[in-house]
Amino acid sequence: MAANEPMADNQRGVIITTASIAGFEGQVGQSDYSAAKGGVIGLTLTAARDLSPLGIRVMTIAPGTFLTLAYGDGDPAELNARWGAAVPNPRRMGDPDEYAALAAHIVENDYLNGTTIRIDGAQRFGMK
């Protein structure tokens, strides 16, 4: 990426990593997972600063519960009934297309750099 020909504003590309809202507030039994995702979140600003002279941006997306195989391969209505009820608004699981739209926006918006964006319908993990 550093060898790319610079575009407008000396931009050479963007790295988008994936964390999880568990990186902010993990549940009981998620210590290792939460720590790993917290590490990705912590890396974001430092990596963005390190790569800024090269014109490379670094962003992280922290999804909540999304309708993916991570939550099972059952009927989407049943999965939404089980997992989507904990999402304040909209009261459903996230759709992978919503994640993709956010990633596309990050690519297109050169001023997004060095931060983590939650995409979770205001969901917060509490104690089990």
**Active site amino acids:** 33
- Let me know: does 89 contact 122? Beta carbons within 8 Å: yes
Q: What is the rounded CA–CA span in Å between residue 39 and residue 105?
A: 24
Q: Amino acid letter at 128?
A: K
* Cis previous bond, 63, omega within 30: no
With H, G, I as helix, E, B as strand and everything else as coil, classify residue 30.
coil
Strand partners, 116: 60
